Structure 1
Protein backbone atom coordinates (compact mmCIF):
# COMPACT_ATOMS: atom_id res chain seq x y z
CA UNK A 1 0.00 0.00 0.00
CA UNK A 2 1.31 3.39 -0.98
CA UNK A 3 1.79 5.93 1.81
CA UNK A 4 0.05 9.06 0.49
CA UNK A 5 -0.53 12.31 2.32
CA UNK A 6 -3.13 14.93 1.42
CA UNK A 7 -1.24 18.16 0.84
CA UNK A 8 -1.66 21.37 -1.13
CA UNK A 9 0.07 21.07 -4.46
CA UNK A 10 2.89 23.22 -5.80
CA UNK A 11 1.06 23.20 -9.17
CA UNK A 12 -1.40 25.80 -8.02
CA UNK A 13 -3.60 28.53 -9.33
CA UNK A 14 -4.52 30.08 -5.97
CA UNK A 15 -3.54 27.92 -3.00
CA UNK A 16 -3.16 24.44 -4.49
CA UNK A 17 -6.19 22.91 -2.78
CA UNK A 18 -7.90 21.58 -5.93
CA UNK A 19 -4.61 20.39 -7.38
CA UNK A 20 -3.74 18.68 -4.10
CA UNK A 21 -7.08 16.87 -4.04
CA UNK A 22 -6.62 15.84 -7.67
CA UNK A 23 -3.13 14.48 -7.02
CA UNK A 24 -4.27 12.58 -3.92
CA UNK A 25 -7.19 10.85 -5.65
CA UNK A 26 -5.48 10.50 -9.05
CA UNK A 27 -7.98 12.70 -10.87
CA UNK A 28 -7.45 15.32 -13.57
CA UNK A 29 -6.93 18.71 -11.94
CA UNK A 30 -9.02 20.50 -14.57
CA UNK A 31 -12.03 18.30 -13.80
CA UNK A 32 -11.65 18.96 -10.05
CA UNK A 33 -11.49 22.73 -10.65
CA UNK A 34 -14.55 22.74 -12.94
CA UNK A 35 -16.58 20.59 -10.51
CA UNK A 36 -15.53 22.81 -7.60
CA UNK A 37 -16.55 25.95 -9.51
CA UNK A 38 -19.95 24.52 -10.43
CA UNK A 39 -20.60 23.32 -6.89
CA UNK A 40 -19.63 26.73 -5.54
CA UNK A 41 -22.11 28.53 -7.79
CA UNK A 42 -24.93 26.07 -7.14
CA UNK A 43 -24.46 26.09 -3.34
CA UNK A 44 -24.64 29.88 -3.00
CA UNK A 45 -20.84 30.26 -2.70
CA UNK A 46 -20.45 27.99 0.33
CA UNK A 47 -17.62 26.36 -1.61
CA UNK A 48 -15.53 29.45 -0.87
CA UNK A 49 -15.76 28.70 2.86
CA UNK A 50 -14.79 25.06 2.25
CA UNK A 51 -11.83 26.17 0.12
CA UNK A 52 -10.56 28.57 2.79
CA UNK A 53 -10.89 25.90 5.50
CA UNK A 54 -8.99 23.38 3.36
CA UNK A 55 -6.37 26.04 2.62
CA UNK A 56 -5.81 26.44 6.37
CA UNK A 57 -6.00 22.74 7.27
CA UNK A 58 -4.07 21.11 4.41
CA UNK A 59 -0.28 21.32 4.82
CA UNK A 60 1.78 22.64 1.95
CA UNK A 61 3.63 20.08 -0.12
CA UNK A 62 7.33 20.21 0.60
CA UNK A 63 9.43 19.75 -2.47
CA UNK A 64 13.17 20.10 -2.69
CA UNK A 65 12.74 21.01 -6.35
CA UNK A 66 11.62 24.59 -5.91
CA UNK A 67 13.88 27.59 -6.37
CA UNK A 68 13.88 28.79 -2.75
CA UNK A 69 15.05 25.43 -1.39
CA UNK A 70 17.80 25.15 -4.00
CA UNK A 71 19.07 28.64 -3.20
CA UNK A 72 18.98 28.00 0.57
CA UNK A 73 20.88 24.76 0.09
CA UNK A 74 23.43 26.49 -2.09
CA UNK A 75 23.95 29.34 0.41
CA UNK A 76 24.16 27.06 3.45
CA UNK A 77 26.67 24.67 1.88
CA UNK A 78 29.37 27.29 1.34
Structure 2
Protein backbone atom coordinates (compact mmCIF):
# COMPACT_ATOMS: atom_id res chain seq x y z
CA UNK A 1 0.00 0.00 0.00
CA UNK A 2 1.13 3.52 -0.69
CA UNK A 3 1.63 6.18 1.94
CA UNK A 4 -1.11 8.72 2.42
CA UNK A 5 0.45 11.95 1.12
CA UNK A 6 -0.97 14.74 -0.99
CA UNK A 7 0.58 14.44 -4.48
CA UNK A 8 2.23 17.42 -6.14
CA UNK A 9 0.65 16.60 -9.52
CA UNK A 10 -3.05 16.06 -10.11
CA UNK A 11 -4.29 18.39 -7.41
CA UNK A 12 -7.46 20.40 -7.86
CA UNK A 13 -7.59 22.27 -4.55
CA UNK A 14 -5.64 20.67 -1.72
CA UNK A 15 -4.86 17.24 -3.15
CA UNK A 16 -6.88 15.36 -0.55
CA UNK A 17 -9.08 13.51 -3.06
CA UNK A 18 -6.03 12.71 -5.20
CA UNK A 19 -4.23 11.33 -2.12
CA UNK A 20 -7.21 9.17 -1.15
CA UNK A 21 -7.53 7.95 -4.74
CA UNK A 22 -3.88 6.87 -4.82
CA UNK A 23 -4.22 5.16 -1.45
CA UNK A 24 -7.34 3.19 -2.40
CA UNK A 25 -6.34 2.50 -6.02
CA UNK A 26 -9.03 4.47 -7.81
CA UNK A 27 -9.04 7.55 -10.01
CA UNK A 28 -9.00 11.05 -8.57
CA UNK A 29 -12.12 11.90 -10.57
CA UNK A 30 -14.03 9.04 -8.94
CA UNK A 31 -12.93 10.18 -5.49
CA UNK A 32 -13.95 13.77 -6.25
CA UNK A 33 -17.41 12.66 -7.41
CA UNK A 34 -17.81 10.56 -4.26
CA UNK A 35 -16.84 13.58 -2.14
CA UNK A 36 -19.25 15.91 -3.96
CA UNK A 37 -22.13 13.46 -3.66
CA UNK A 38 -21.34 12.93 0.03
CA UNK A 39 -21.63 16.69 0.56
CA UNK A 40 -25.34 16.36 -0.26
CA UNK A 41 -25.72 14.20 2.86
CA UNK A 42 -25.66 15.61 6.38
CA UNK A 43 -22.33 15.35 8.12
CA UNK A 44 -18.92 16.95 8.57
CA UNK A 45 -17.49 16.12 5.12
CA UNK A 46 -16.15 19.61 4.48
CA UNK A 47 -14.52 19.77 7.92
CA UNK A 48 -12.97 16.35 7.34
CA UNK A 49 -11.57 17.58 4.01
CA UNK A 50 -10.04 20.62 5.72
CA UNK A 51 -8.58 18.48 8.51
CA UNK A 52 -7.00 16.08 6.00
CA UNK A 53 -5.64 19.04 4.01
CA UNK A 54 -3.92 20.29 7.16
CA UNK A 55 -2.78 16.91 8.53
CA UNK A 56 -1.62 15.10 5.38
CA UNK A 57 1.92 15.99 4.36
CA UNK A 58 2.63 17.14 0.84
CA UNK A 59 4.52 14.70 -1.36
CA UNK A 60 7.38 17.15 -1.99
CA UNK A 61 7.92 17.65 1.78
CA UNK A 62 8.04 13.89 2.38
CA UNK A 63 10.43 13.42 -0.52
CA UNK A 64 12.84 16.05 0.91
CA UNK A 65 12.73 14.42 4.34
CA UNK A 66 14.42 11.27 2.99
TM-score, structure 1 as length reference: 0.69
User: Larger RCO: Structure 1 or Structure 2 (Cα < 8 Å, ≥ 6 residues apart)?
Assistant: 2
Show the counterpart of 1:47: 45
Consecutive unaligned residues in structure 2, runs of 5 or more = 62-66
Consecutive unaligned residues in structure 1, runs of 5 or more = 64-78
Between the aligned partners of 1:17 and 1:8, the Cα distance in structure 2 is 6
Q: CA RMSD in A?
A: 1.6
Show the counterpart of 2:13: 14
How far apart are residue 7 of structure 1 and its match? 0.4
Structure of larger gyration radius: 1
In the alignment of these two chains, the number of paired residues is: 60
